[in-house]
Amino acid sequence: MYQPPAFREERSDVVVDLVRRAGYGHLVVADDGGFVSTPMPFVADDGLTTVRAHLARPNTAWRAAPCAALLIVPVTDAYVSPSWYPGKAEHGEVVPTWNYEVVHLHGRLIAHDDPDWVYRQINDLTDANESAMPAPWAVTDAPEEFIAKMQRGIVGVELLVERVEAKRKLSQNRGETDQASVCEGLTTRDDRARAVAIAMAPGVDD
C-alpha cells in the first residue's frame, strides 16, 4: 500500500483499534484462476498476530490454503469536496480528494475444518459483536442440533499475520484551517462521512 509519511499509522494500539472497530474485511488469495476476494467478519488477537474467521464451505477461497493472503480492512472513508477549503474563494487552486482509514494485513492463510476450532471461532465472533447489545445473544441460545447443522456448512480460516500496513488519510497534509473546514463539511453529510469527521476530530497528529 502506498503510504506517504503523513498518512502512515504505526501506533500498534491505534491499529488494533481500527481493525477491531471494523471487524470486517476482504480476504484476497490467489488460485489457478487468478485472484479471489471474499468479504468476511473476523476476530483479531490483542497483538494482531492472528485473525480468525470462517467461510461458507462452497466458497472456494479457503481451498487455496495454505497460501499467502491479504486481508483488506476498510474502516472509514468519505469524499472531500474542494468547496470546503477556504482557498476556493481566495485563489481557486483546490481539488477534490478522499479521506479514509484502512489496514492491510499480510500473512499466511490456514484452513481449519476441526469442529472444536470452528465452534470456538463462531462463539468468539458472536461474543465480540453482541457485547454492546442490550440483551446479547449467545450461540448457546440456539438449539445444539441446529448449531451443529449450521456449522457443517462452514470452514474455519486463520490468517497468521506477518506484516501490517495502516493508513489514515485525514487531511494531515492540509493546514489546521482546512482540516477544521473539512471536518465541518463532513458532519453535514451522511453517517459514513460523519464517521470520518469523528476520526479527524481528536486531532490527526496526536
Q: What is the pLDDT of residues 143-191, one digit of tens each?
A: 999 999 999 999 999 999 999 999 999 999 988 999 999 999 999 999 9
Sorted by sequence, the CB contacts under 8 Å of residue 65 that are 6+ apart come out as 29, 109, 110, 111, 157
pLDDT band at 204 (very low <50, low <70, confident <90, very high): very low
> How does 182-204 read in b/e, with b if 16+ C-beta sit within 10 Å?
bbebbeeeeeebbbbbebbeeeb
- Does residue 137 surpass a pLDDT of 90? yes
Residue 110 has pLDDT above 70, yes or no: yes
Residues of the chain above pLDDT 90, percent? 89
**Residue-level pLDDT at 202:** 63
Which residues have C-beta within 8 Å of that of residue 127, sequence separation ≥ 6? 136, 138
Residue with cell 481539488: 95
Assess contact for 93 and 8: CB atoms under 8 A. Answer: no
- What whole-number distance in Å separates Cα of residue 123 and Cα of residue 151? 11
Query: Which tens digits make up the pLDDT trace of 30-73?
Result: 988 899 999 999 999 999 999 999 999 999 999 999 999 999 99
* Cα 161 to Cα 139: distance, rounded to the nearest angstrom: 27
Please give the CATH architecture assigned to the domain spanning 12-77+98-173. Roll (2.30)
Confidence band, pLDDT 50/70/90 cuts, at residue 76: very high
Burial code of 131-161, b = ≥16 C-beta within 10 A, e = fewer? eeeeeeeebeeeeeeebeeebeebbbbbbeb
Q: What is the mean pLDDT of residues 90-108?
A: 91
pTM above 0.95, yes or no: no
Q: What is the DSSP letter of 8?
A: B
The model's confidence at residue 203, banded by pLDDT at 50, 70 and 90, is very low
Q: How confident is residue 87, by pLDDT bands cut at 50, 70 and 90?
A: low
The mean pLDDT value for 102-124 works out to 98
Quote the mean pLDDT of the chain.
94
pLDDT at 205 over 90: no
